[in-house]
Structure 1
Amino acid sequence: MQTLDHAVYLNMREGADVLEADGKGDKVLRLADGSMLKLFRRKRLLTSALWAPYARRFADNCQVLRERGIECPSVRQVYRIPSIKRDAVHYDPLPGRTLRQLLGTDASLRAQLGEFMARLHEDGIYFRSAHLGNVVLTPENTLGLIDIADLRAYRKPLRKGLRLRNFKHMLRYREDRAWLLADTQFAEHYLRHQHVCNAKELSLALNT
């Protein structure tokens, strides 16, 4: 993790668009060259972020996903910015549009997402922040992940409990839920590409 001087940070930030912020300050910036700077603050004095900063987790997760052939942002550098008490990851965004932006378009995306989630689970990827705003359809018509600081990668396919819990995360948002359950394509294509969950278990997870 590289320490970023305040003057250098201000120069980097010049002309940036603030994409996300809260009462504590900026959270996501689109820099003048089109790259992104995602800022993380430590919310509690004693937290795992002390020894595993979220910015570093983001970068490490990008590396893991790329090693497993899953598309994601391309990290340039990870920073510690003492002057604003933030860590940051500087990256090139994954090109494309999120599935949430594409709601109401091609219904076959549900089938593609079902296959994609099966692949993630078979590859041992547990993405706690799984929702339609964090899955991108790229210009090459493939799916990839963004906002991946909250992700765990296992060496073996996910066990059943984690898979079913992951679906609960995906259904938290009413609009996402309505789209996913509009027909059976998502469930059918997920089941077709994995061998852990059965149809009854998946149906129960998706409909409760």
Structure 2
Amino acid sequence: MLMQTLSQPELSALTTNASVLELDGLGPKVLKLTDGSFLKLFRKRSAFSRETLKPYAKRFAENAARLKGLGFSSPKIIHVYWLIDPINKTAVHYWPLPGLTLRHVLSHSPGEQRQELVGQFGELLAKLHGSGVYFRSVHLGNVLVQPDGQLGLIDLADMRISHFALSLHKRKRNLKHMRRYVEDQKWLFEEHHDALKAGYSRIAKKQAVKLFE
């Protein structure tokens, strides 16, 4: 997808009456526009970074398209922008997936339902790994439970997709990342560890399942 230039007046017009969904000390990061679409803003973190080689907004859009091609649920991209703005450098405009984060749903679900959801997440994780998707920021806050019960992904810029299944080393690193979150550690690796392993084993090869032992 080609990137378009968006001036400050055009950005202001696009975001008129928008709701701020995420922000930091420099301002809004994710906006919900009046038509229900989202605008995600990216800032260049340093003079020389991955953003210099390929803008994160473009990564987001390309990953959304590749995920869809691999059979995963992903947002529908509307536009990718270069911004004429002193703080924000690029942005991606998209239709978001409907649903609630898996972390939120698990926190409001009884034990039996949590068991089932964790198993479903295990299947998703195995499919990602088997499809060559290394989602560095994978955690329960970046996975959505959609109205039809299927799981989808958000925060797609922090992701690499190769043509080969992930190595056992990368799979292990991906699992280790999730342990940094207290609730994720509790639900995935303590209370419902067996469900996570069972879900993963339904998709992954036997040698990969040994990561859970």
Greater alpha carbon shift after TM alignment, 77-86 vs 31-40: 77-86
Count of residues paired in the alignment: 203
**200 and 37 in structure 1: CA distance in 2 versus 1, 3 angstrom threshold:** same
- TM-score when normalising by structure 2: 0.91
Instruction: Report the aligned-residue RMSD.
Output: 1.3
C-alpha distance in 2 between matches for 1:49 and 1:176: 29
Instruction: Provide the residue aligned with 1:206 in structure 2.
Output: none
C-alpha distance in 1 between matches for 2:161 and 2:13: 35
Instruction: Provide the residue aligned with 1:34 in structure 2.
Output: 36
Identify unmatched segments of 5+ residues in structure 1: 204-208
- TM-score when normalising by structure 1: 0.93
**Structure number having the greater helix percentage:** 2
1:8-47 superposed matches below 5 A: 8-47=10-49
**Deviation sequence 1:91-114 (CA, Å, 0-9, x none):** 111111110110241221011111
Structure 1 residue 19: deviation in Å?
Answer: 1.1
C-alpha distance in 2 between matches for 1:45 and 1:196: 44
Structure 1 residue 198: deviation in Å?
Answer: 4.8
Structure 1 residue 193: deviation in Å?
Answer: 1.6
Matched residue SS, 1:8: helix
C-alpha distance in 2 between matches for 1:22 and 1:112: 32
| C-alpha contact (below 8 Å) 2:31/2:40 kept by paired residues | yes
C-alpha distance in 2 between matches for 1:6 and 1:174: 40
Seq. identity, %: 44
Instruction: Provide the residue aligned with 2:105 in structure 1.
Output: 102
1:93 corresponds, among 91, 96, 120, to: 96
Structure 1 residue 192: deviation in Å?
Answer: 2.9
1:127-206 superposed matches below 5 A: 127-181=135-189, 182-183=191-192, 184-195=194-205, 197-203=207-213
